[in-house]
């Protein structure tokens, strides 16, 4: 129920061709079918809805998890290209979830962007020590969000 899209193992060649066709076409209004998947690990449903819409608008596919345990499970099962990790989560917090993902050979290559609370600056240092590749502190602007996502995963559609 958490993942909205599934990836098919044999679609890589066709998918790449499709993406190139889309990029070469002038009809970019609707954007290409999502090719890259960002896992949103966030316990706040409103925030997940918001992030899902922003990512879709920029041509990214998404996966969702509401706690750290589920985040790890989905990262293993669905192989996201990037993980957006809220640090304050039920079950298992984002620090420990990140440590586990970065200690595991099958997931350690996936970039993790930490989302930390602005009221706790020490969390930024902790997030990097846990293995996060970058962080965003709340509240962040839409521009900051897209910039950091694009740094790790260039958008498949033009940003307008």
> Which residues of the chain form contacts with Mn ion (CB under 5 A)?
43, 86, 88
Q: Which residue is nearest to Mn ion (CB)?
A: 88
Considering beta carbons, is residue 99 or 138 the nearer one to Mn ion?
A: 138
Closer CB to Mn ion, residue 110 or residue 114? 114
- The CB-based long-range contact list for 28-36 (8 Å cut-off, 24+ gap) reads 28/157, 28/158, 31/59, 31/156, 31/157, 32/59, 32/156, 32/157, 34/5, 34/59, 34/60, 34/61, 34/62, 34/156, 35/59, 35/61, 35/156, 36/60, 36/61, 36/81, 36/82, 36/153, 36/156
Shortest CB 83 distance to Mn ion, Å: 15
- Identity of the residue, 86 or 124, whose beta carbon is nearer to Mn ion in the bound complex: 86
Kindly state the smallest distance separating residue 119's Cβ from Mn ion, in Å: 13
**In the complex, minimum distance from the CB of residue 48 to Mn ion, in angstroms, rounded to a whole number:** 10
What's the closest the beta carbon of residue 18 comes to Mn ion, in angstroms?
36
């Amino acid at each position: 129920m958490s993942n909205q899209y599934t990836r098919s193992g044999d679609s890589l060649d066709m998918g790449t061709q499709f993406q190139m066709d889309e990029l070469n076409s002038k009809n970019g209004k609707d954007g290409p079918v999502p090719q890259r998947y960002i896992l949103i690990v966030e316990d706040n449903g409103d925030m997940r809805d918001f992030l899902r819409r922003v990512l879709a608008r920029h041509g990214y596919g998404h996966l969702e998890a509401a706690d750290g345990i589920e985040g790890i499970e989905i990262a293993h099962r669905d192989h996201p290209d990037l993980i957006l990790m809220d640090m304050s989560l039920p079950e298992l917090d984002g620090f420990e979830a990140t440590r586990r993902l970065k200690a595991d050979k099958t997931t350690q290559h996936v970039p993790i962007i930490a989302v930390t609370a602005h009221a706790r600056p020490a969390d930024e240092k902790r997030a990097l020590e846990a293995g996060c590749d970058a962080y965003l502190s709340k509240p962040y602007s839409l521009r900051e969000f897209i910039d950091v996502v694009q740094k790790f995963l260039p958008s498949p559609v033009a940003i307008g």
